[in-house]
A and B are shown apart, each in its own frame.
Chain A
Amino acid sequence: MAKRTILLGGAALILAGISVAVAQPDNSCTTYDGQMSGSALYVLMACPDNAKAQCAAPVNAGTIIQKGVNYRFLYKTRATEIQNSLVVVQLKAMAAQPVPEPVAIKLTRQQLNFACYTKDNKQDPIPADADDVTAAPDVGYSIYDRFHRYGYAPRKELRVLLSFHTSYFNGSACVSTLEKVRRAQFLFADRSNVAGITVGLLTRFGIDTPVAVAAEINHYDHLQVVLANYKKQPQASGCISFLGRSDGPSLEIDVSDLEEKAHASNDFDRFHPEVFTINTK
């Protein structure tokens, strides 16, 4: 009996250890907060004066990362009145040569603690470990583009996209990531061309022609969308953290803060992401 108890206790401890290892929260934002200023992207790299320690290096024209290595990126927002927001991060790894067909888009969503219409306002990450891109669901580029532009997709992909999108409390109301301006931030090209329900229906019925797929998307051999989030006090900066890598000559990271975009005063601010390009060696 005692042996069985010890065995069960041991198994429980091992399982608990595994679950801690899998779901370990990333606290890079807190750790490196002092090294970062607002509205900038940082990458965690070996410090220049101490190769064993990690520093948050600002991403600029001179930043170079190694091919095929995962890097943790941190994005600190400007100090705004926003309390809760979701941030769409598009990771586009440049291919050595253009690909014949656009590659499928990997979708990852980080754990959300201010979701609407869920138990305890929590929503689990997608996949279970949001940093594990290999386990992330994917959707063909043209279907992804059509869904965010016109609002429809074949059932299999519709299920994936409906599970990926969410409703969240932005500090004053519950809003959906599928509202028109917020939906536009998920597009990889031509963001201002997002249809309402009427044009969406006309396109779905085949009466209106959908927008052609942008040719420049064939320059990338890895496309990924990370739906990150932050919660902060008004007048403070938010911070998000995500992993990125590239096996090609460069990595482009487009960042769009959904609440900032939804309240932008002009079309340029509303539909243009912050773009960061990092070369590889």
Chain B
Amino acid sequence: MSEIQKTAQPPGNEPPAIENEFVWAIRPFLKRCSIIFSCWTTPSLEVDTFTRDDGVSARAFALFLIAALTFAVRGDNGDNGGANPTAVFTAFAGGIAIILSAVLNILSRTYKIRERLVISAYASTIIVMFFFVIFQEILTLTLPFLLYNSFFWYGDVIIPAVLGGIATFALLLMKSAWWDEKPIGRRGFRHGSILTVGSTIIVIIIALLSSRIFHRLVELVSKLKLHGD
């Protein structure tokens, strides 16, 4: 009886069950994922249905995914002879985040692009990156001569990137038509193609950029940001 009294808590103050802790912990992650997923559609004409804070956190999460995928796209594990692999890794991630964030912010301010379109661009880039890695890996191991000899020696980047862009575009149209149940039409087709072509170009740049130039760019952008503040 006394044991029960000692451990009993007033109603409403019970420690949450482990399952609830888990749900509580992953809820923000799921929310960000769902915002990114809902924004990735064509044509994207709706007004933003989420708060500004949610939009910012979804963008930050998308940016984190892009930074992580950068290493996969570049076939780089951060231990390619550098003195401090973790530092190289972090510098790359930071660089990608700064450059992409700055470019998209400038574009959205200049052309008054809605938040959901910016998130949609991030989502497209993530998916093209994902497909790029898959196609490059498969083609390297199955058709290496094709990758090596084509497109004026840039086939190893251009072929998987273009295939990734086409796969992303097809997926975007299917998602918009069947999941979002939207009439795609000419406008949807145009929006979708601009989105995927832009993302494909970003992925090609990420894959082609030499490490030296990339570091220079990161330094330059960091200085610009500091002066801007």
Residues on A close to B: CB < 8 A? 101, 116-117, 140, 142-143, 146, 151-156, 158-159, 162-163, 165-167, 176, 178-179, 183, 197, 200-201, 204-206, 210
Contacts and interface: CB of A to CB of B under 8 A. Distances in A.
A153 B156 CA distance: 11
Residue of B77, B142, B207 with most partner-chain A CB within 10 A: B77
B144 interface: yes
A163 B147 CA distance: 10
Nearest to A156: B210
B136 interface: yes
A163 B148 CA distance: 7
B148 A162 contact: yes
Best-buried of B140, B142, B148 by chain A (most CB within 10 Å): B140
Contacts of B74: 154-155
17 contacts: A117-B145, A140-B81, A143-B80, A154-B74, A155-B207, A158-B156, A162-B144, A162-B148, A165-B144, A167-B144, A176-B142, A197-B137, A200-B141, A201-B137, A204-B72, A204-B133, A204-B137
B208 interface: yes
A210 B148 contact: no
Count class of interface residues, chain B: 20 to 34
A159 B207 CA distance: 13
Nearest to A150: B137
Contact of B156 (A116, A162, A166, A176): A162
A67 to B, nearest CB: 28
B137 A153 contact: no
Contacts of A179: 141
B208 to A, nearest CB: 7
Interface string B189-229: 00000000000000000011011000000000000000000
B81 A158 contact: no
A183 B54 CA distance: 48
